[in-house]
Amino acid sequence: MITLYNAPSCTSCRKAKTWFEDYQIPYTERDIIKDPLTKEEIKQMLMRTENGTEDLISTRSKAFKELDINIEELPLKELIELVEKNPAILKRPLIADETRFQVGFNENEIRRFLPREIRAYELEKAKQEAGIV
């Protein structure tokens, strides 16, 4: 099952929800502000990223700037505690299932959550429209 980790005021989160609903893909939703991630969940997400904290932490966010810290200097344990106590510093949405993980909404990248048969059908349709058969 796909889990959409989001926050109510997040425009990208609303886009992701709409995308899943448009494709009728079931998902569960979790508001990370009301129901923050556990230390273990944060560790798991860090392990699933390519660039670790750089992929997960929104250094441009107001919440992050107010903390006035250098995350590069924080030991991993302290970083995880920081995220646990300040979930608003995470990029959103976070989208995950058993094998896939995505940070943020990107219309091309989110397609990885489409069932294989739908991706194959849409690829064939695009080839036909482009005259590549």
Residue 72 CA: distances (Å) to CA of 23, 36, 39, 97: 39, 22, 19, 28
Residue 13 designated active-site: no
**Helical ranges in 1-115 per DSSP H:** 11-22, 39-48, 53-56, 62-67, 76-85
Q: Give the 3-state secondary structure of 29-53.
A: EEECCCCCCCHHHHHHHHHHCCCCH
Per the residue annotation, which of 10, 37, 88, 96 is the catalytic one?
Answer: 10
Joined tokens for residue 131: 């005259």
Report the catalytic residues.
10
